[in-house]
């Protein structure tokens, strides 16, 4: 920062820090379940199973939903592949981006830091699709 000796570089995570993209996951997976034809009675179990699987896969840094979704979908009697699976993953990201909300005060903090000459960076995991994280950050 310009006023001597202070911090100059600030690094933030994106999901869960600058943006709340987690609280919308039940709605997103409910939508996905509807898209694949699950009945209302199956949706609650599907949503829970998908969120549990997502948490587990993120722990091992597997962000490619096209790689692990088929295993979970098969548990519900759904087999998808190729373009249909890719389209569903894109729909997931579209909805997650649309329903995510900026964290309270995040924009103001970033502007305040930038206005004082700070360098800002985002350090985050992948979204599994090329340039998807960039699209979500730019939104």
Residue 21 to residue 102: CA distance in whole angstroms: 8
Q: What is the pairing mode between strands 19-20 and 9-12? A: unpaired
DSSP state of 39: -
Residue 139 to residue 134: CA distance in whole angstroms: 9
**pLDDT given at position 98:** 92
* pLDDT band (50, 70, 90) for residue 35: very high
Task: Check: pTM over 0.75? Answer yes or no.
Answer: yes
Distances (CA, A) of 91 to 34, 84, 96, 110: 12, 10, 8, 29
For CA atoms 24, 25, 30, 34, the dihedral sign is: positive
The class of domain 1-21+102-139 in CATH terms is alpha beta
* pLDDT band (50, 70, 90) for residue 125: low
Residue 106 or residue 126, greater confidence: 106
Average pLDDT of the chain is: 87
């Amino acid at each position: 920062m310009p006023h001597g000796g202070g911090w100059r570089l600030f690094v933030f995570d994106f999901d869960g820090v600058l943006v709340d993209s987690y609280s919308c996951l039940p709605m997103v997976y409910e939508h996905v379940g509807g898209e694949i034809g699950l009945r209302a009675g199956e949706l609650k179990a599907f949503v829970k199973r998908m969120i549990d699987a997502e948490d587990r896969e993120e722990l091992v840094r597997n962000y490619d939903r096209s790689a692990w979704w088929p295993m979970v979908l098969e548990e519900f009697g759904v087999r998808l592949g190729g373009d249909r699976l890719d389209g569903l993953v894109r729909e997931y990201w579209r909805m997650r981006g649309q329903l995510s909300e900026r964290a309270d005060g995040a924009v103001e903090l970033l502007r305040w830091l930038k206005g004082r000459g700070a360098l800002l960076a985002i350090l985050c995991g992948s979204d599994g699709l090329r340039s998807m994280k960039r699209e979500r950050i730019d939104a």
